[in-house]
Amino acid sequence: MAAERTQALLAWYREHGRELPWRGSSDPWAILVSEVMSQQTQIARVVPAWTAFMERYPTPGHLADADRAELVRLWAGLGYQRRAIHLQRAARIVDDSGWPTDVAGLRELPGVGPYTAAAVACFAFGVPVPAIDTNLKRILSRWNGEALDSSTLTAAAASELPHDAAAAWSQALMDLGAQLCRPKRPRCGDCPVSEWCADPTVYQPPPRQSRYEGSVRQARAATMRTLAHHGASTTAALAHHTGLAPERLEDAVASLLSDGSVVRRGGRLVIADT
């Protein structure tokens, strides 16, 4: 059953897979940037941002030497500026020491979690490992007729993965999840593998993210944007430019100082460059 399902899935992917500018590339930098940008961000927003980013920073070395404020400005619109900062820190390590080529080594890079490490290892270095994201979790749970998690999910993915087409299989599942096997109202009538699906109603959605409006995340983003455009600023200047209430600005600054995104210099706040 698994072999037939895989063949049907890959045949559908060859005809209906999304055309993304990093697809088909084995450049680990291009793939890492795409994966970091795609975290909690819609692909429609990622594509133009990725294109502009790769034009400005085509190699890890270009980003390693880049001005941090310029990087934050370029990242505007994607949110979660910490991703950009982690990416620059990873670029500096790669530029200095070269690319790790397995999952364990990639996990050591700043900001690289289990999924991203597996994706880069598989898509760039040909390691036959499944890139397990929410799409894959949802689809495999439906195929198996039970909510999979942790060890059961890993075992199911390993048993399904075709080692001679690992990258295409993972990318096919991403596209199947995005286009047909959606969290709500899956299009089972159009699904190429519906006959091998045990229960399309099986799916445990992840907890909903807290609201952005009024959150510390929003205040952090506003503070970082202001520092990127205006440079070193006092708290009073930040309050003026961001329009944030004092307690919200205080929480944002404390959070940014805690994770090293900003530092104090001479009584002013500035984006950290290390």
Catalytic residues: 35
Q: How far apart are CA 98 and CA 26, in angstroms?
A: 15
Q: Where do runs of H (alpha helix) occur along the chain? A: 2-16, 28-38, 43-56, 60-64, 68-75, 81-97, 103-107, 114-125, 134-144, 150-160, 166-179, 216-230, 235-242, 246-258
- For the purposes of burial, counting CB atoms within 10 Å of the CB of 266, is it exposed (0-12), middle (13-18) or buried (19 or more)? exposed
The 8-class DSSP code of residue 188 comes to G
CB 13 within 8 A of CB 172: yes
